[in-house]
Chain A
Amino acid sequence: MTASGGRWSRRRVLAGLGSAWLGPGLPWGCAAKSERPPAVPSEPTVWLPPVVYERHDDGMGLWLFEDHGLPLVAMGVVLRVGHRHDPPGRPGAARLAGLMLLEGIEGGDRRELLDRFGDLGTTTVVDVGPSQLGLQCTVHRDDAPAALALLVRTLRASTWAPQAFERVRGDRLEVLESLQGSPDAVVSLGLLEGVFGATEPATALGEGTPRSLAELELAQARAFLEPWLRPDAASVLLAGDVSPDEARAWTEAAREGWEAVSVAMPPEPAPMAQRPEAERPRVVLVPWEGLEQAVVGFGGRHHSYGAPEELPRMLADSIMAGMIEHELRTRQRTSYGVRARTWQTQLGALHQLWARVQPEDAGQAVDGVQQYLQRIASSTLAPAVVEDTRLMAMMDLMDDVHGPEPMLAQLWRLAAEGLRADALQDRLERLQRMDARYVGEALKEGYRASGLCWCVVGDERALQRATRVLPRRGVVTRRPQALFGAAEG
């Protein structure tokens, strides 16, 4: 936390992106100088440590990233089930079931379970995503075998105590209520409705609705998870100071007694029901009286990690985020007084850019972004900008394996997305030969005005000013409670 943090807190070079469409010419370098910088290679050395993946005879996966820089091991046990598997009419089931894993195992309640992890010098967290559910922790390597065994046992031997279930349910309802007070969360839900036509957008995030959570029974949550508690739906992830032989031995010991089952895996769910594109809103307005700063966001569909189209689109998104921030934070601040900071967020398949602005500046913020979008449609992206972004993405890849915990996050993603062990290496090689034209095409395709949805959360002033410049068709108005699937008060 840098209370008086740095000026350049975002990574992109905003000063240069203002002229991103004019070619690589940079506004400096001509005047005579008395000191000159040394020459360094333009393409730095980049490498990634290899990922090891093995599959046990019974189908359980083992993912390994070695890093022997510290006596530290980050680990996870993950199941191939997530909130996209929520049963029809029961959104939130996966998340509640996942949280119940921390409520105690045979022979002990929640506090005792946490103390057992504490004895190993760690805490564990549960993670529930669209396609995966699991537990993770980080320990000293001396404690790693015991910690892995405890993780597996926690997954398999949850007590499912009714009292604990009520508490977890109560906590989730509190979270939902708190989120309804967050304009940032509300703008995401508005975009989810617009981009995907989700009728209850909160369900797309796996949060559930107050009603679905209230109606869910303990037995249903348990029945949801149990079919996936089998070795062939599970993977062990290890990153850090552990050799392949140790990884195998620790995993073998941890999974002892976990027998394979012969019944078929539960079927994959149908995609989320969506309204036809023609019926989807282009603009979602969320009135919120008294909100001191409005939130303006826009977004569109994103490809899943590892998909062929995803990589150029990811570069395009980075460029777009830099340009929008330049527009809102640098140019408009000096021109119009907008105090904005732009954030780029990905929620499942939704890619969104959003910023807080003063209510009276909401119209200018929208207008400025729209002008950028128009320039994209009619211009060619300067190769130097793509080159810069491409290089940053390569360095990000290396950054993502900088220590056991970042490595575990990468393994988690590989396992969740069902990717190959060499997916990161393949990603690096694709980045190394990425052509700027693909990125330019991805930018134009991804930011076509007709494919985007807008959401504005704010008071009457903000909404009035924004609607003056937003598309006139396909405008809907939603209360925050409705986006969360809650009854309106």
Chain B
Amino acid sequence: MLLRLLAPCSLLACLWLPAVARADSPLTYERYSLDNGLDVVLHVDRRLPLVAVDLAYHVGWAHDGSRRGLAHLVEHLMFRGTRDVEDGEHLLLLQERGASNVNAHTDDDGTSYHALVPRDVLPLALWLEGNRMARVRLTREHVEEELQTTIDEWESRVGSELRGLSHEALWNALFPEGHPFHRADPDDIRGLTLSDAQGFVESHYGPANATLVLAGDLPADVKAEVERAFGARRGGGAPAVLSPRRSLQGEQRIARRDAMSTKPFVLIGWLTPGLFEPGDAEADVLAATLDGERLRTMADRHAPGTILELEMGQLSLSGQSMFVFAAEGTSAATPQGMLATLDAILDEVRAASLDPAAVVRTRKRLATGTLRAVQRVDQRASIMQAYVAAGHEPDWLDEDLARYAAVDVDAVAAFVREHLPRDRRVVVLSEAAEVGP
């Protein structure tokens, strides 16, 4: 999994998109709003006595501005207690009663708090979310502890992870200082304060800036439960609209030596169309058609036995995505030689030499993949949240899939010509470390 560290916070980066008629859609729903503006989506699925609770605030790490890391810090602080719930009690109360996946994640455009709870426990789960929406207790001590925890997470995800720093270098070269997608580093995080967190919560954490999705074995009085938990809450302002679009000028090369890798490694990154924009589907089809095995066959044609593993993928974000082509070489390979091989592969694709039948298979595989991605009720809740965050209805699956129906070999080749040029990209050339066991 060469690309694993590049995956952004967005669930949508993992969404593969197939053809399911709306009548067969697994995402049937009812949607309504409370008087205070809370957007509510209900999806009934009675296969198991479980309910997925997913509350998303429409503010994420891309809205951090100069206070990079703030949205993520606030996500952590929301588990540190309220005026009525002690530090850690939120988690305990739910897990003592069988809830799982009690967690949260911060995306570019939203922050989601979620849990999978036994159906009998739904009133408690709703009460806890409604309570911390308005009555979270932020303290200097908790901020200091969570600053350290988020730095630890950075260390785990980037600093001490194989090739983590190479991926981070690529990301920040594509989204440089000042861009809303530029990533927080430990120094950014250390600079955050209690006052920052308080301001962020007061501005954005309220019902008018949130969507609640409940999916599963919902009780008959679910609407009354939602009203009881959230009806008295107020506030929630939307963050400023972002303009993440940028373009690269020329090719930028970054040479590195990865302290933990025993193999050379190459990453190429391009800026590509944002989530659901024209070109986004072509990128997905390209990456799914050229799987690791196909890529390795192509690589072996150009430079036999020099590349061990290859992978490409579109990481879709709101307004501006990135496409990445990654390769790990044999010990004997050089990053420069590997880059030449990757370029030769891309030249082939630009010339529309993909197998049309392979593209058709990809579309079918993506269709199956979409069903696989909604097997569980919590998966369904997440995907519905993702569609809502993008400004669509929760069952937008059909429209989503329709984008793929028109993607053929020529469209993929055109995407490569237009969006993956040699002269507008970032290349990370990573030498192997000299240490080994």
Contacts and interface: CB of A to CB of B under 8 A. Distances in A.
Interface of A: 1-9, 11, 13, 15-16, 26-29, 33-38, 40-42, 44-47, 49, 67, 69-72, 111, 114-115, 118-123, 138-140, 174, 178, 180-181, 186, 286, 288-293, 333-334, 339, 341, 356, 387-388, 391-392, 394-396, 398-399, 401-406, 479-481
Given A38-B124, A479-B437, A15 B88 contact: yes
Those 5 A-B pairs whose CB atoms lie nearest each other, nearest first: A403-B375, A44-B118, A290-B435, A28-B86, A1-B7
Contact of B7 (A3, A46, A405): A3
A398 B153 contact: no
Contacts of B103: 5-6, 8-9
A290 B435 CA distance: 6
Contact of A140 (B88, B148, B184, B368): B368
Contact of B8 (A3, A8, A401, A404): A3
B91 A46 contact: no
A121 B88 contact: no
Nearest to B167: A3
A272 B104 CA distance: 45
A394 B72 contact: no
A115 B361 contact: yes
B36 interface: no
B259 interface: yes
Contacts of B24: 71
A343 to B, nearest CB: 12
Interface in B271-301: 293, 297
Interface in B52-104: 61, 69, 71-72, 75-76, 79, 83-89, 91-93, 95-104
A29 B124 contact: no
Contacts of A40: 97, 120-121, 123-124
Nearest to B379: A403
A35 B364 CA distance: 51
Contacts of B155: 339
Nearest to B289: A118
A466 B92 CA distance: 34
A44 B86 contact: no
Contact of B372 (A69, A72, A356): A72
Contact of B48 (A9, A37, A47): A47
A115 B297 CA distance: 15
Contact of A181 (B91, B145, B436): B436
A8 B92 CA distance: 11
B156 A333 contact: no
Contacts of A341: 156
Contacts of B71: 4
B68 to A, nearest CB: 11
A140 B152 contact: no
A47 B119 CA distance: 12
Given A13-B91, A42-B97, A70-B374, A5 B118 contact: no
A284 B263 CA distance: 27
B84 A8 contact: no
Interface string B401-437: 0000000000000000000000000000000010111
Nearest to A44: B118
Contacts of B13: 1
A405 B106 contact: no
Most buried by A among B79, B88, B101: B88
Contact of A29 (B86, B95, B97, B100): B86
B9 A3 contact: yes
Interface string B360-378: 0110110110011011110
B131 interface: yes
Contacts of A333: 148, 152
Given A7-B76, A41-B120, A392-B100, A138 B372 contact: yes
B356 interface: no
Contact of B262 (A41, A122, A181, A392): A181
Given A118-B361, A406-B375, A4 B160 contact: no
B358 interface: yes
Interface in B103-131: 103-106, 116, 118-121, 123-124, 127-128, 131
A385 to B, nearest CB: 10
B127 A37 contact: yes
B153 A4 contact: yes
A407 B437 CA distance: 40
Contacts of A11: 95, 100-101
